[in-house]
Amino acid sequence: MGNKKTVGQRALFATKIGVIATTVGSAVGLGNIWRFPYEAGSNGGGAFMACYFMFIFIIGVPVICAEFIMGRGTRSNIFGAYRKLSPKGKWYVAGFMGILASVLILSFYSVVAGWILEYLIQSLTGSIKLADASANHVAFDEFSTSSFRPVIWTLSFLALNFLILINGVAKGIERMSNILMPMLFVLLVIFCINSLTLDKASEGLTFLFHPDFSKISPQVLLSAMGQAFFSLSLGLGCMTTYASYFGEGTKLGRTAMTTAILDTLVAILAGIIIFPAVFSFGFSPQAGPTLVFEVLPAVFNNLPGGVVWSSLFFLLLTLASLTSTISMSEISIAFMVEEWKLSRKVATIVNTLVAMFFGTLCALSFGVLSDVKIFGLTIFNLFDYASSNVLLPIGGMIASIFVGWVVDKRFVKSQMTGNGAYKSVLLPFVVFCLRYTAPAGIALVFLNSIGLI
Ligand code: PFF
């Protein structure tokens, strides 16, 4: 891999900014801009937000650190990391769960990214109906429930993901994230300012930021926890795999904190864009997965030169989605390359074909397969629910117990302090949370959601 630093066979991220940009690149994506608003909207707004913040900082940040420690300390994929740190234990089973979760997420995520591609093309060709919110609503409904276009876009998105992956980790991702993330951020700030000028902006902000604690239910807690894991790309070994490419000088605590803060900031910006518009233009906050696709055109319509903004936005969102799907693909690719000794090319092909198969099923589950229900959920919703609300928190709980209780304390300390070269203010907090608050918190939310407490 050219002039990149290497450890063994592995290419490392070349620069400090590369580390932050790629980690944030993985975390920031459709989870912030598509999933966060619809989950917040369906789960009582402020009540959801309050729980979400709490989970990000008392569970999310410590678990990111746990994954970083495992990845950088072993220079392995998630499965190899567990096995290297506990050769005789059965902890590596959690690695398989992470790989399963990554495939489920890649499949349904690509469908939503496909919808973004459709909107991008509609914006570029000028056929997007910005001026008429209800016409756009009908058009989106027609599009998402049809068979052909959503599938084609899902497959096209996965093909794009494939092309980037095949070029290797350092080159493709690093270069792209460095430019993309700041641009997306600026665009979001502009849209926020625009939304704040809408007549019912204050209603939207109250909905999002004023917690009505009586609305906190087991379902709200579970959804907020699932969203925290999903948004931080946590609990499935993504951060472990990425950290395996970090240089020795990367400060893990600081990188974890920066990632959590920037990721949360983007979600808040998305909320400030969407909810004032929801109330001002008469949408329902509870629309579910289609919420932002209905509301955003109305937002763009309110800006002078709406089509230009929407083109730019959907382009950047496509790229932000790619930096996330690249990271989730990397979980199973690193696994297949390191454990099965497949070539990177073959591993990437396998990953893409599996996602194409399940992605097609997810895409069709809004239309011809909408009657196929498992546990009362469509395939798309099942993949989303099972990964975010079940697999990721379980993966996070295992990682926190593993790093908190099983892994040698000196190893944890040396990873967090660069082998004693600097102090980590976060270390005592992280260790405490990994031992107690994270596993107990996740267990309580689970038990609560199935009615046991
Ligand atoms: N965190 C990403 C987002 O918010 O869009 C989604 C994601 C990426 C989840 C990578 C899991 C993962 F491994």
CA of 395 to the centre of ligand 1 (A): 14
Atom of ligand 1 nearest to the CA of 230: 9
What count of residues does the chain have?
453
The pLDDT-based confidence of 172 (bands split at 50, 70, 90) is low
Cβ atoms within 10 Å of 124's Cβ, excluding its own: 14
Question: How far away, in angstroms, is 252 Cα from ligand 1 center?
Answer: 19
What's the whole-number mean pLDDT along residues 355-384? 96
Pocket test for ligand 1, best of 38, 233, 244, 335 (most atoms within 8 A of CB): 233
Q: List pLDDT tens digits, range 181-227.
A: 789 999 999 999 999 999 999 999 999 999 999 999 999 999 999 99
Confidence of residue 168 (pLDDT cuts 50, 70, 90): low
Amino acid 2: pLDDT: 36
Q: How many angstroms is it from 199 CA to the middle of ligand 1?
A: 34
The answer to whether residues 292 and 34 touch, using CB atoms and an 8 Å cutoff, is yes
Nearest protein CA to atom 4 of ligand 1, as residue: 31
User: Ligand 1, atom 11: nearest CA belongs to which residue?
Assistant: 233
Q: What is the mean pLDDT of residues 297-311?
A: 90
Atom 7, ligand 1: residue with shortest CA distance: 233
Q: What is the mean pLDDT of residues 373-377?
A: 95
Please write down the HEC assignment for all residues of the chain.
CCCCCEECCEECCCCHHHHHHHHHHHHCCHHHHHHHHHHHHHCCCHHHHHHHHHHHHHHHHHHHHHHHHHHHHHCCCHHHHHHHHCCCCCCCHHHHHHHHHHHHHHHHHHHHHHHHHHHHHHHHHCCCCCCCHHHHHHHHHHHHHCCHHHHHHHHHHHHHHHHHHCCCHHHHHHHHHHHHHHHHHHHHHHHHHHHHCCCCHHHHHHHHHCCCHHHCCHHHHHHHHHHHHHHCCCCCCHHHHHHCCCCCCCCHHHHHHHHHHHHHHHHHHHHHHHHHHHHHCCCCCCCHHHHHHHHHHHHHHCCCCHHHHHHHHHHHHHHHHHHHHHHHHHHHHHHHHHHCCCCHHHHHHHHHHHHHHHHHHHHHCCCCCCCCCECCECHHHHHHHHHHHHHHHHHHHHHHHHHHHHCCHHHHHHHHCCCCCCCCCCHHHHHHHHHHHHHHHHHHHHHHHCCCC
Q: What is the pLDDT of residue 215?
A: 93
Q: Within 10 A of 356 (CB to CB), how many other CB atoms are there?
A: 19
Give the range among 120-124, 349-353, 448-452 with minimum mean pLDDT. Answer: 448-452
Q: Which of 24-33, 137-146, 169-178 has the lowest mean pLDDT?
A: 169-178
Residue 274 is encoded by which pair of tokens?
A: 């969407």
Pocket test residue of 327, 384, 391 for ligand 1, highest count of atoms within 8 A of CB: 327
* Residue located via tokens 């944030």: 24
pTM recorded for the entire structure: 0.94
Q: How confident is the model at residue 301 (pLDDT cuts 50, 70, 90)?
A: confident
Residue in 135, 191, 196, 179 with CA at minimum distance from that of residue 309: 191
Ligand 1 first shell, C-beta below 6 A:
26-27, 29-32, 102, 105, 230-231, 233, 236, 238, 324, 327-328
Express each pLDDT in 11-21 by its tens digit: 777 677 778 88
Nearest CA to ligand 1 atom 3: 31
Rounded to the nearest angstrom, the distance between the alpha carbon of 26 and the centre of ligand 1 is 6
Measured CA to CA, the distance from residue 442 to residue 228 in angstroms comes to 12
Q: Contact at 8 Å (CB) between 296 and 137?
A: no
pLDDT at 7: 66
Q: How does pLDDT run across 305-346, given as a tens digit for each residue? A: 889 999 999 999 998 999 899 999 999 998 999 899 999 999
Q: Which of 209, 197, 319 is nearest to 268 (CA)?
A: 209
Tell me, in angstroms, the distance from the centre of ligand 1 to residue 387's CA.
11
Substitution candidate for ligand 1 out of 328, 351, 388 with most atoms within 8 A of CB: 328
